[in-house]
Structure 1
Amino acid sequence: MAAIAAHKLQIVRMLVETAPDSALRSLELALASVGSVGGLAQVRGLVEDETSDRFVRNNILAPIVPMCAVRGPGQISFSPRVLPFLWKALKTIAPQRIEEAGAKCNPWDLEQGTPDVFGDLCGMAARGLRDAEQEAFDAARGLGGTEELIHCLEISHIVRAALPKLSEWVSRMSGERAAAARLAYRDACAIREDSGARLFDMLAAHLPDDWRILRVISAVMDRPNDRYLASSEVSSFGERVLAEIDASINLIRDFDLDKGEKLGREAAMAAQRVSLQITEFEQSVNIAKDGPWGRRLGKYKQQIAQVVELRMSTADKELGDALPTKPISILGKKGGKGVPKLTSPPDEALVRRATAILIFIEHLRPCAAQSGYGSTRGKALEKLNSRLDQYIEDVLYAARTGEGGDPALAQQYLDIAAGFIAHTRDDKTAEIVRRRAAAAIAA
């Protein structure tokens, strides 16, 4: 491919500079095997330069990076464009400091601690945003939320120092770790009285499960009771977790089986999350049954068990619809057990619904016992497996003998039943069913 003209290369550069991080990574992978000559090599060079530049930028502005995205209600967030605009402004007013920071961004250097220049640059960004005469920061100011961004940058050095300890704080809090968390909180409040809650929000943005910040709040406040915490400046963190629990319960109650396994899995993950959030809440906060949060938490514990059990109760019907049977007569009387109805192809919509509910039940395993519906789940699986075992044996007989239905249809239904039993039992059992089906058809 010939070299790209200068004006076109400039357009490509602008596209690369404005591409999201995920798109940039995809481009880097796609161009990895490109040679060193030609237009694609030029594009690869632009992508590599931008990737390297963002690595430096994201290390320097690390405390606010995860906040420059869409976050939940009530959480501090900024436009994703804040990062490139701030970075461009810093390059304009402090190019030498940027170069100095870039030279210290090697992973082996970062392991020795954060260079002071990182904090200096965040401080420059805060002052530049506050000073209206600093035109380099006009683009960042134009995105809104400037005052909050300034406050976050002002405590970014405290957040940066806490980030290496954060995983320890939320995994296993000790007396020494609690003291370090209290010190960080005190330092943030010394800068601004309302920066304690801001510190927690910034730290939460760096957690895979942001609600685990409750553990840090608990350590700082010495496991407060729910009445105190609900009336404090950090009450929004507890309210946010309770709102998430409520939303998860509604999701489980209302998820549409017609949308298949993706929704079934999401609903089960929501149930798991509720179990973890309730446990975290009870461990982090001294809950009173009649307290403002204690009453709600008790209600949610009842509701989650009720909605999950209600959804599980529909599984047998959905399975019966996807694997239809027809009644048989015994001694001239109706009412005998049903046998597989192998007269028409499987209904994809019904199979999708059954798959969704079975996946839902399957993925409840980690939380069922703790959440109070373990026994109900066990009984549901026992009933489902009993139905599947009998159905599979009957269809295998039809596949071998041709009696009771079309062998080709029998094969299709056996494939579906094997997929179902992988969710109600395990993959090994499903594979055995598939091998038996293949042998029956071959015979």
Structure 2
Amino acid sequence: MAAIAAHKLQIVRMLVETAPDSALRSLELALASVGSVGGLAQVRGLVEDETTDRFVRNNVLAPIVPMCAVRGPGQISFSPRVLPFVWKALKATAPRRVEEAAAKCNPWDLEQGTPEVFDHLCRLAAQGLRDPQQDAFDATRGLGETEELIHCLEISHIVREALPKLSEWVSRMSGERAAAARLAYRDACVIREDSGARLFDMLAAHLPEDWRILRVISAVMDRPNDRYLASSEVSSFGERVLADIDASINLIRDFDLDKGVKLSREAAMAAQRVSLQVTEFEQSVNIAKDGPWGRRLAKYKQQIAQAVELRMSTADRELSEALPTKPISILGKKGGKGVAKLSAPPDEALVRRATAILVFIEHLRPCATQSGYGSTRAKTLEKLNNRLDQYIEDVLYAARTGEGGDPALAQQYLDIAAGFIAHTRDDKTAEIVRRRAAAAIAA
């Protein structure tokens, strides 16, 4: 491929500079095997330069990077364009410091701790945003939330120092770690009285599960009671967790089986998350039964159990519709299990619904006992497995002998039943069913 003309290369450069990080990584991988000459080599050079530049930028602005994205209601967030705009402004106003940061942004320097120039550049960014005479920051100011961004940059050095300790703070808090968290909180409040809550929000943005910041808040405030916390400047953190629990309960109650296993798995993951959130809440906050959050938490614990048990109660019906049966005789009772009905092909919609509810029940295992519906889940699985065992034996007989239905249909239903039993028991049992089915068909 011939070299790209200068004006076209400039267009490519603009596209590369504005590409999301994920797209940039894909481009880098796609162009990895390109040679050293030609137009594609030029594009690869642009991509590599931009990747390197973003690596430096994201290290320098690390405290605010995860906040430049869509976050939950009430959480501090900025436009994704804040990062490139601030970085461009810093390049224009402090080019030597940016070059120094790039030189320091290597593994051996970073292992020695955060280079001072990183924090200095964040301070320069805050000063530039505050000074209307600095035109280089006009684009960033035009995105809005300027004051909040300035306040975040002002405490970025505190956040940066806390980030390496954050995983320890939320995994296993100790007296020494609690003291370090309190010190960080105090330092933030010295800069601005309202920056304590801002510090927690910035740290939460760096957590895979932001609600775990409750553990840090608890350590800083020495496990406060819910009345105090609900009326404090950090009450929004507890309110967000409770709102998330409420949303999860609604998801479990309302998810549509017709939409398949993806949504049912999300509902089960929501149940797991609620279990963890309730535990975290009770450990981090001294909950009073008649307190503002204690009453709500007790109500949610009842509601989650009721919602899950209600969904599990539909599993037997969904299974019986996906694997239809017929009465053994005309005297068979209505609702009796009967024997496998192999007169029509499986209904894909009914199979999808049954699979969805079984996947939901399967993924409740980690939280069922702790959340109070472990016994119901065990009884439900026992009932489902009894039905599946009997159904599989009936269909295997039909597959071997040709009596009671079409062997080809029997094979289809056996494969479906094996898929079901993988969720109610395990993959090993499902594989045994498939091997028995293959042997029955071959006989």
- The TM-score normalised by the length of structure 1 is 0.98
Determine the structure 1 residue equivalent to 2:225: 225
State the alpha-carbon separation in 2 of the partners of residues 46 and 330 from structure 1: 77
Q: Which moved more, 1:292-301 or 1:326-335?
A: 326-335
Describe the superposition over 1:323-352 as per-residue Cα deviations: whole angstroms up to 9, x where unpaired: 111112177988864111111111111111
Q: Secondary structure at 1:330's aligned position in 2? A: coil
Shift of 1:37: 2.0
State the alpha-carbon separation in 1 of the partners of residues 333 and 345 from structure 2: 29
Describe the superposition over 1:26-68 as per-residue Cα deviations: whole angstroms up to 9, x where unpaired: 1111222222222222211111111111000000000000000
Shift of 1:260: 0.4
Mapping for residues 429-440 of structure 1, pairs under 5 Å: 429-440=429-440
Q: Is the alpha carbon distance of 1:332 and 1:250 closer, same or farther for their aligned partners in structure 2, counting shifts above 3 Å?
A: closer
Q: Is the alpha carbon distance of 1:222 and 1:441 closer, same or farther for their aligned partners in structure 2, counting shifts above 3 Å?
A: same
Q: Secondary structure at 1:35's aligned position in 2? A: coil
Contact 1:24 1:51 in 2 (8 A): yes
Contact 2:265 2:360 in 1 (8 A): yes
Q: Which moved more, 1:339-348 or 1:364-373?
A: 339-348
Determine the structure 2 residue equivalent to 1:332: 332
Shift of 1:80: 0.2
State the alpha-carbon separation in 1 of the partners of residues 334 and 286 from structure 2: 61
Q: Which moved more, 1:31-40 or 1:88-97?
A: 31-40
State the alpha-carbon separation in 2 of the partners of residues 238 and 143 from structure 1: 29
Q: Is the alpha carbon distance of 1:171 and 1:93 closer, same or farther for their aligned partners in structure 2, counting shifts above 3 Å?
A: same
Contact 2:200 2:217 in 1 (8 A): yes
State the alpha-carbon separation in 2 of the partners of residues 299 and 14 from structure 1: 54
Determine the structure 2 residue equivalent to 1:84: 84
State the alpha-carbon separation in 1 of the partners of residues 217 and 249 from structure 2: 25
State the alpha-carbon separation in 2 of the partners of residues 398 and 104 from structure 1: 73
Determine the structure 1 residue equivalent to 2:34: 34
State the alpha-carbon separation in 2 of the partners of residues 288 and 30 from structure 1: 57
Q: Is the alpha carbon distance of 1:343 and 1:127 closer, same or farther for their aligned partners in structure 2, counting shifts above 3 Å?
A: same
Shift of 1:149: 0.1
Describe the superposition over 1:341-385 as per-residue Cα deviations: whole angstroms up to 9, x where unpaired: 111111111111111110000000000000000000000000011
Determine the structure 2 residue equivalent to 1:314: 314
Describe the superposition over 1:259-301 as per-residue Cα deviations: whole angstroms up to 9, x where unpaired: 1000110000000000000000000000000000000000000
State the alpha-carbon separation in 1 of the partners of residues 312 and 180 from structure 2: 46
State the alpha-carbon separation in 2 of the partners of residues 35 and 389 from structure 1: 60
Q: Which moved more, 1:362-371 or 1:393-402?
A: 393-402
Let me know the Cα RMSD of the aligned residues.
1.2
State the alpha-carbon separation in 2 of the partners of residues 288 and 226 from structure 1: 7
Determine the structure 2 residue equivalent to 1:207: 207
Q: Which moved more, 1:392-401 or 1:311-320?
A: 392-401
Q: Secondary structure at 1:89's aligned position in 2? A: helix
Q: Secondary structure at 2:58's aligned position in 1? A: helix
Q: Secondary structure at 2:292's aligned position in 1? A: coil
Q: Secondary structure at 2:276's aligned position in 1? A: helix
Deviant stretches of 4+, over 4 Å: 330-337
Contact 1:328 1:335 in 2 (8 A): no
Contact 2:312 2:361 in 1 (8 A): yes
Q: Which moved more, 1:39-48 or 1:212-221?
A: 39-48
Q: Is the alpha carbon distance of 1:115 and 1:413 closer, same or farther for their aligned partners in structure 2, counting shifts above 3 Å?
A: same
Q: Is the alpha carbon distance of 1:333 and 1:289 closer, same or farther for their aligned partners in structure 2, counting shifts above 3 Å?
A: closer
Mapping for residues 24-423 of structure 1, pairs under 5 Å: 24-329=24-329, 337-423=337-423
Shift of 1:108: 2.4
State the alpha-carbon separation in 2 of the partners of residues 107 and 320 from structure 1: 60
State the alpha-carbon separation in 1 of the partners of residues 404 and 88 from structure 2: 74
Q: Which moved more, 1:288-297 or 1:399-408?
A: 399-408
Shift of 1:397: 1.0
What count of residue pairs does the alignment treat as equivalent? Answer: 443
Q: Which moved more, 1:355-364 or 1:29-38?
A: 29-38
Q: Is the alpha carbon distance of 1:142 and 1:392 closer, same or farther for their aligned partners in structure 2, counting shifts above 3 Å?
A: same
Q: Is the alpha carbon distance of 1:306 and 1:332 closer, same or farther for their aligned partners in structure 2, counting shifts above 3 Å?
A: closer
Q: Is the alpha carbon distance of 1:157 and 1:25 closer, same or farther for their aligned partners in structure 2, counting shifts above 3 Å?
A: same
Q: Is the alpha carbon distance of 1:337 and 1:169 closer, same or farther for their aligned partners in structure 2, counting shifts above 3 Å?
A: closer
Q: Is the alpha carbon distance of 1:422 and 1:193 closer, same or farther for their aligned partners in structure 2, counting shifts above 3 Å?
A: same
Describe the superposition over 1:47-96 as per-residue Cα deviations: whole angstroms up to 9, x where unpaired: 11111110000000000000000000000000000000000000001111
State the alpha-carbon separation in 1 of the partners of residues 146 and 181 from structure 2: 27
State the alpha-carbon separation in 1 of the partners of residues 328 and 34 from structure 2: 67
Contact 2:325 2:337 in 1 (8 A): no
Q: Is the alpha carbon distance of 1:176 and 1:331 closer, same or farther for their aligned partners in structure 2, counting shifts above 3 Å?
A: closer
Q: Which moved more, 1:322-331 or 1:178-187?
A: 322-331
State the alpha-carbon separation in 1 of the partners of residues 317 and 2 from structure 2: 64
State the alpha-carbon separation in 2 of the partners of residues 332 and 65 from structure 1: 67
Q: Is the alpha carbon distance of 1:439 and 1:136 closer, same or farther for their aligned partners in structure 2, counting shifts above 3 Å?
A: same
State the alpha-carbon separation in 1 of the partners of residues 317 and 11 from structure 2: 58
State the alpha-carbon separation in 1 of the partners of residues 335 and 246 from structure 2: 44
Shift of 1:22: 1.0
Shift of 1:209: 0.3
Shift of 1:159: 0.2
Contact 1:223 1:284 in 2 (8 A): yes
Q: Is the alpha carbon distance of 1:280 and 1:331 closer, same or farther for their aligned partners in structure 2, counting shifts above 3 Å?
A: closer
Contact 2:225 2:288 in 1 (8 A): yes
Shift of 1:249: 0.3
Contact 2:332 2:338 in 1 (8 A): no
Shift of 1:401: 1.2
Q: Secondary structure at 1:334's aligned position in 2? A: coil
Q: Is the alpha carbon distance of 1:406 and 1:63 closer, same or farther for their aligned partners in structure 2, counting shifts above 3 Å?
A: same
Describe the superposition over 1:114-134 as per-residue Cα deviations: whole angstroms up to 9, x where unpaired: 000000000000000000110
Gap regions ≥5 residues in structure 1: none
Contact 1:64 1:152 in 2 (8 A): yes
Gap regions ≥5 residues in structure 2: none
Q: Is the alpha carbon distance of 1:323 and 1:187 closer, same or farther for their aligned partners in structure 2, counting shifts above 3 Å?
A: same
Describe the superposition over 1:294-321 as per-residue Cα deviations: whole angstroms up to 9, x where unpaired: 0000000000000000000000001111
Q: Which moved more, 1:326-335 or 1:3-12?
A: 326-335
Shift of 1:420: 0.7
